[in-house]
């Protein structure tokens, strides 16, 4: 599996980037995992070797100048994971990150291994899913600036898929829809009117519909509905989903609320990224989608395994406190 995207797919156990910070779980970080890290634990999906990959910015620039093989940014992650915090849709093709050309360089070294490969594309939040963009959509669901960003993102994703399929035609794609940040606790006091929320949803639909069109255009491509995934476990602020639960009650007894904090009982971490259980449930839904739509036969993460992850994070948090 190859991954291209932003901080939603950048591994939390990256000591090179997060080791000395309070990001990605603070005292709980050693037990707080991102979705690729959880998938890798099953041993069923090859995300490449874990290590420090890439070079620092200036060195990468020099390598690029002399047309030498390069990778940026420098981070500790799986070799096949090119997602980087702060990445934008244009970084799929352009700029210092250039995730698609760099993933292709890796794939070209072992084309046989990629005949059954899958590439996950999860990008867009930094272009049009932030507070500023959502605020514009709340006023006008077809805000010209936001629509321009959405169409640019769709075009870059299509270009990415075409580039990969030109050299590796059997590779399958998973296109992840945009998450609606208006749903999380950090923004619970914003866009409180139903018209504002509906406008945001209508605007974000433009991107998701664009990905669905690409999924029909390219063979063996499936769409992962990130907003539907969220509603399945935490309901929604939207009036039509008010009857849905606001708390995820795990079969093994613990609860995860739509709240912010590094304790694993919170949906989101203090830094705003998905918490441990959210990532585990996201991984499960991804496995189910792959089994149903791509013909894989993955053993899906169990409730018992999620409970073990939760308990391990609790233990780490307790031991980290003075």
- Token pair, residue 124, equals 């867009």
Could you give the 3-state DSSP secondary structure of residue 318? Answer: helix
Phi (first) and psi of residue 67, to 5 degrees? 55, 35
pLDDT of residue 127: 98
Nearest to 159, CA basis, from 203, 104, 105, 80: 104
CATH architecture of structural domain 2-49+79-320: 3-Layer(aba) Sandwich (3.40)
- The answer to whether 49 and 293 are in contact (CB under 8 A) is no
Could you tell me the pTM of the whole model? 0.94
pLDDT in tens, 49-87: 999 999 876 666 666 655 656 788 999 999 999 999 999
pLDDT for res 99:
96
* Dihedral sign, Cα of residue 148, residue 154, residue 158, residue 163: positive
Kindly list the distances between the CA atom of residue 174 and the CA atoms of 121, 165, 236, in Å, as whole numbers in the listed order. 6, 13, 24
Tokens 């890796």, residue located: 106
The pLDDT value recorded for residue 238 is 83
Residues 52 and 44: their CA atoms lie apart, in Å, by 22
* 24 Cβ contact list (under 8 Å, min separation 6): 12, 18, 32, 34, 269, 271, 273
Q: Is the Cβ–Cβ distance between 173 and 121 less than 8 Å?
A: yes
CA–CA separation, 69 and 131 (whole Å): 37
- How far, in Å, CA of 29 to CA of 12, rounded? 7
Q: What is the helix (H) or strand (E) element at residue 15, kind and residue range?
A: helix 15-18
CA triplet 261, 266, 267: central angle to 5 degrees?
Answer: 110
What are the distances in angstroms from CA 16 to CA 29, 168, 169?
14, 32, 35
pLDDT, position 71: 85
Q: Six-digit token pair at 287? A: 């496995």
Residue 35: its H or E element: helix 35-41
Percent of the chain past pLDDT 90, that is, above it, reads 86
The mean pLDDT of the chain is 94
Half-sphere exposure of 133 (CA within 13 A, CB side): 21
Q: Mind giving me the DSSP string for 111-143?
A: GGGGGG-EEEEE--HHHHSSHHHHHHHHH-TT-
pLDDT digits over 24-48, tens only?
999 999 999 999 999 999 999 999 9
* Average pLDDT per consecutive 10 residues, the chain (322 residues; last block may be shorter): 98 94 95 98 95 80 62 94 97 93 96 97 98 97 98 98 98 98 92 92 98 97 97 87 77 95 97 97 98 96 97 95 68
The secondary element (H helix, E strand) that includes residue 221 is: strand 221-224
Give Cβ neighbours of residue 218 (< 8 Å, ≥ 6 apart).
Answer: 161, 165, 173
pLDDT value of position 198: 94
């Amino acid at each position: 599996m190859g991954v291209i995207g932003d901080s939603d797919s950048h591994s939390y156990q990256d000591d090179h980037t997060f080791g000395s910070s309070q990001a990605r779980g603070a005292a709980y970080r050693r037990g707080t995992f991102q979705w690729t890290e959880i998938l890798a634990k099953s041993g069923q999906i090859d995300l490449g070797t874990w290590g420090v990959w890439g070079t620092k910015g200036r060195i990468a620039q020099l390598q690029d100048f002399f047309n030498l093989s390069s990778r940026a940014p420098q981070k500790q992650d799986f070799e096949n994971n090119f997602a980087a915090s702060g990445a934008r849709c244009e970084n799929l093709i352009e700029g210092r990150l250039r995730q698609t050309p760099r993933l292709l360089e890796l794939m070209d070294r072992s084309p046989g291994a990629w005949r059954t490969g899958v590439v996950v594309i999860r990008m867009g939040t930094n272009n049009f899913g932030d507070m500023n963009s959502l605020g514009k959509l709340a006023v006008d669901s077809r805000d010209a600036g936001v629509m321009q960003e959405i169409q640019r993102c769709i075009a870059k994703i299509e270009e990415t898929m075409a580039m990969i399929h030109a050299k590796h035609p059997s590779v399958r794609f998973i296109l992840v829809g945009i998450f609606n940040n208006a749903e999380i606790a950090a923004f619970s006091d914003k866009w409180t009117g139903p018209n504002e929320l509906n406008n945001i949803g209508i605007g974000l639909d433009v991107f998701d519909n664009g990905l669905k069109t690409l999924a029909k255009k390219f063979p063996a491509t499936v769409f992962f509905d990130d907003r539907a995934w969220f509603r399945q476990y935490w309901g929604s602020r939207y009036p039509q989903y008010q009857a849905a639960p606001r708390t995820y009650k795990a079969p093994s007894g613990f609860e995860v609320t739509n709240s912010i904090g590094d304790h694993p009982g919170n949906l989101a971490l203090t830094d705003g990224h998905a918490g441990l259980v959210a990532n585990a449930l996201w991984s499960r839904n991804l496995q189910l989608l792959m089994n149903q739509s791509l013909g894989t036969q993955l053993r899906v993460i169990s409730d018992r395994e999620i409970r073990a992850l939760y308990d391990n994070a609790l233990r780490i948090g307790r031991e980290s406190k003075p």
